[in-house]
């Protein structure tokens, strides 16, 4: 049976073969480059998809919440970095988990380091969060004094095993293309190594450097200055990554199948059942404005090429408005399915909560 016949409402499709190939490729690249591969599991959030990494020798992972760490620890993952500055209100729960697995935590302030030292009975790996230019979080790379002070504080505490410096070069997500992402990655790596050298000179080290962002890791084959990479989004990629040249369209592994509920040729729009609660309302730059997804049509057991000139340009809670040139709109009928390629697959997966593979098998995700 064709899976599309069974779909009556917004459904997140997963091309498992594409996802497995994405995993294989990134793992092979990390191995060839001689860096550790600690993939971020926040994108898929699924025990079953997590298993697809094991044949490639992956034993250590990254997550973005303690709940997610618990979920994957329950699936047998025994070396997990929680790559969000540690939330000191969860010290008791982190300590409990640290008694069961090797847990890595992040800190960027003396208050956090002190609270961890007070609250943890079991040792954890500690990474200092460095801001190499994304301006989101972490201590600024160009003010090493604060990092030296934090490293000194941590190094003196027996429950904290100071492992290294960690950054997320989120700025690569706005790079215009692979060369730009590679350049930003290189700048970020150079900056964090400058911090490493300053710490080394202050007698603190040796320290590892952990980096990770899908655009940079996709653009590069070598990861100069990094000991570990932590990309996550690459497992599925998405419309942003495709348009930025980080992947080929065939490498995008998820699409949201949505029924057409109305057609408005007079304004070049189809109304889809599928809105912000399904796609998330993350957006990418599109023509003169923003779009939330590209669109394709079902084709065989999957979806075809992106429909030229078509994008979801507006979302409400349950509706998506798909802007289409007349010749594309003419191909649709009320009740058809359209496969939306989300701007940002991590948030769409989170919103949908499970996947339907192209061979008709449901894959569950963690539910908070």
Site residues for a copy of itself per CB under 8 A: 7-9, 42, 64-67, 84-90, 93, 108-109, 111-112, 115, 135-137, 140, 170, 259, 261-264, 266-267, 271, 273, 276-277, 280-282, 314, 316-319, 321, 333-335, 337, 346-347, 350-351, 353, 367-368
Closest approach of Cβ 61 to a copy of itself, in Å?
16
Closest approach of Cβ 263 to a copy of itself, in Å?
7
> Which is nearer to a copy of itself, 122 or 319 (by Cβ)?
319
Residue 288: which residues within 8 A CB-CB, separation 6 or more? Answer: none
Give 19-60 as a 3 state SS string.
Answer: HHHHHHHHHHHHHHHCCEECCECCCCCCHHHHHCCHHHCCCC
Residue position matching structure tokens 């025990």: 47
> Which is nearer to a copy of itself, 136 or 361 (by Cβ)?
136
Question: 337 - beta bridge partners?
Answer: 259
> Which is nearer to a copy of itself, 35 or 147 (by Cβ)?
147
> Which is nearer to a copy of itself, 163 or 292 (by Cβ)?
292
> Which is nearer to a copy of itself, 266 or 359 (by Cβ)?
266
Residue 25: which residues within 8 A CB-CB, separation 6 or more? Answer: none
* Whole-number Å distance between alpha carbons of 59 and 66: 18
Q: Kind of pairing, strands 124-131 and 102-107?
A: parallel
In contact, 89 and 66? CB cutoff 8 Å: no
> Which is nearer to a copy of itself, 35 or 272 (by Cβ)?
272
Nearest-10 Cα torsion for 33, 35, 37, 42: -100
Closest approach of Cβ 32 to a copy of itself, in Å?
29
Closest approach of Cβ 38 to a copy of itself, in Å?
17
Closest approach of Cβ 328 to a copy of itself, in Å?
18
Closest approach of Cβ 292 to a copy of itself, in Å?
11
Residue 312: which residues within 8 A CB-CB, separation 6 or more? Answer: 272, 279, 291, 292, 293, 294, 295, 320, 321, 322, 323, 340
């Amino acid at each position: 049976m064709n899976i599309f016949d069974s779909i009556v409402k917004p459904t997140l499709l997963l091309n498992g073969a594409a996802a497995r190939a994405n995993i294989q490729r990134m793992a092979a690249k990390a191995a060839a480059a001689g860096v550790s591969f600690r993939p971020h599991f926040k994108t898929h959030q699924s025990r079953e998809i997590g298993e697809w990494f094991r044949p490639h020798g992956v034993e250590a992972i990254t997550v973005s919440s303690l709940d997610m760490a618990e979920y994957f620890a329950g699936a047998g993952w025994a070396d997990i970095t929680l790559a969000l500055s540690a939330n000191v209100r969860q010290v008791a729960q982190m300590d409990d988990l640290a008694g069961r697995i090797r847990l890595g935590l992040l800190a960027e302030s003396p208050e956090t380091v002190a609270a961890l030292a007070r609250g943890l009975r079991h040792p954890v790996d500690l990474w200092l969060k460095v801001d190499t230019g994304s301006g989101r979080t972490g201590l600024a790379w160009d003010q090493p004094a604060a990092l030296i002070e934090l490293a000194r504080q941590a190094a003196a505490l027996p429950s904290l095993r100071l492992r290294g410096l960690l950054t997320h070069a989120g700025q690569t997500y706005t790079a215009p293309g692979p060369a730009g992402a590679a350049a930003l990655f290189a700048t970020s790596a150079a900056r964090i190594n400058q911090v490493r050298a300053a710490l080394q000179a202050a007698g603190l080290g040796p320290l590892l450097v952990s980096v990770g962002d899908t655009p940079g890791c996709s653009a590069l084959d070598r990861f100069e200055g990094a000991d570990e990479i932590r990309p996550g989004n690459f497992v599925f990629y998405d419309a942003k990554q495709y348009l930025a040249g980080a992947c080929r369209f065939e490498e995008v592994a998820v699409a949201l199948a949505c029924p057409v509920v109305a057609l408005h040729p007079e304004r070049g729009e189809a109304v889809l059942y599928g809105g912000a609660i399904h796609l998330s309302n993350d957006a990418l730059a599109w023509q003169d404005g923003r779009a939330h997804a590209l669109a394709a049509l079902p084709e065989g057991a999957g979806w075809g090429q992106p429909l030229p000139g078509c994008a979801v340009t507006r979302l409400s809670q349950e509706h998506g408005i798909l802007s289409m040139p007349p010749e594309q709109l003419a191909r649709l009928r009320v009740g058809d399915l359209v496969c939306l390629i989300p701007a940002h697959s991590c948030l769409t997966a989170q919103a949908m909560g499970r996947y339907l593979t192209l061979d008709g098998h449901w894959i569950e995700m963690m539910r908070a």
